[in-house]
Amino acid sequence: MKVGLFIPCYVNAIYPEVGIATYKLLDYLGADVNYPVRQTCCGQPMANAGFEQMVVDLAKHFDDLFSGYDYIVSPSSSCVSFVKKKYSLIMQNEGYPCQTSGKTHDVCEFLHDVLKVDKLPGKFPHKVSIHNSCHGVRELHLSSASELNIPRHSKIKNLLSTIEGIEILEPDKIDECCGFGGMFSIEEQAVSVRMGYDKLKNHLATGAEYITGADSSCLMHMQGIAERERLPVKFLHVVQILTAGL
């Protein structure tokens, strides 16, 4: 299967190791992975700020870049959620059909639902607290939202369980927002930081050494607070833990 790797702008600039881990893992699992180098950003920050119309060109560009692939996979549940839920409408409004939104997947979603990964090599003998990002939970259903009366499930938990030695924990207020929210983090910085700080405290209360999740943006926001507050915790994207043995 031909997989196009979509690396979000901030992962590109700040956490390239997450991109590297994603590529390595998909390749290990037998996918033919390529990275179209002229990609930039999905446009979500502008759209959430109220400037959806600025995203049209970006959406068209994305669609062109990735049209030849069977799947488009990205290590970011929020970016994928944006492409899946909004691209069709944004492009349709301008008269362009969108080919890619239906085949774009978050990497955890892809590993769990498409590749059906149930075994991975490697050990990660550490306590890890799962950060259930809002887009991942409520838009992509990576785990069951705590508000809903539906059977409890977590794709991230299932994937991490394939790694030997790992101790998987989840915080109180299991899927409460960390407060990143894109431009919200700047426009309402006081609330954003308070939310992030509270979330960190809940994660730390589990006794975890690492906080992991499907969204580096949430992790980046919490990491910034942890460093400012000198809180002893490390951050890794789920794919980085899954490639522990590679």
Stretch 196-235 residues interacting with other proteins (CB under 8 A): 196-198, 220-221, 223-225, 227-228
Cβ-based neighbour number of residue 246 at 10 Å: 12
Q: Contacts with other proteins in 9-38 (CB under 8 A)?
A: 9-17, 19-20, 23-25, 27-28, 35, 37-38
| Residue 93 CB partners (closer than 8 Å, separation 6+) | 56
Q: Kindly tell me which residue out of 186, 205, 207, 234 binds other proteins, with binding defined by CB under 8 A.
A: 186
Cβ-based neighbour number of residue 78 at 10 Å: 28
Helices (H), 133-215: 134, 155-160, 184-187, 189-204
* 139 touches other proteins by CB under 8 A: yes
* 240 touches other proteins by CB under 8 A: no
Q: Kindly tell me which residue out of 91, 98, 111, 195 binds other proteins, with binding defined by CB under 8 A.
A: 195
Q: Kindly tell me which residue out of 83, 91, 177, 211 binds other proteins, with binding defined by CB under 8 A.
A: 177
- Minimum distance, C-beta of residue 37 to other proteins, in the bound complex (Å): 6
Cβ-based neighbour number of residue 45 at 10 Å: 20
Rounded-to-integer distance, Cα 225 and Cα 228, Å: 5
Rounded-to-integer distance, Cα 237 and Cα 1, Å: 24
Taking CB under 8 A as the binding criterion, the range among 39-47, 101-109, 122-130, 156-164 that sits at the site for other proteins is 39-47
Q: Kindly tell me which residue out of 92, 93, 146, 161 binds other proteins, with binding defined by CB under 8 A.
A: 146
- Minimum distance, C-beta of residue 227 to other proteins, in the bound complex (Å): 4
Nearer to other proteins, 37 or 119 (CB): 37
Nearest to 162 by CA among 68, 245, 54: 245
- Minimum distance, C-beta of residue 127 to other proteins, in the bound complex (Å): 24
Say whether 2 sits in a helix, a strand or coil: strand
Rounded-to-integer distance, Cα 60 and Cα 50, Å: 19
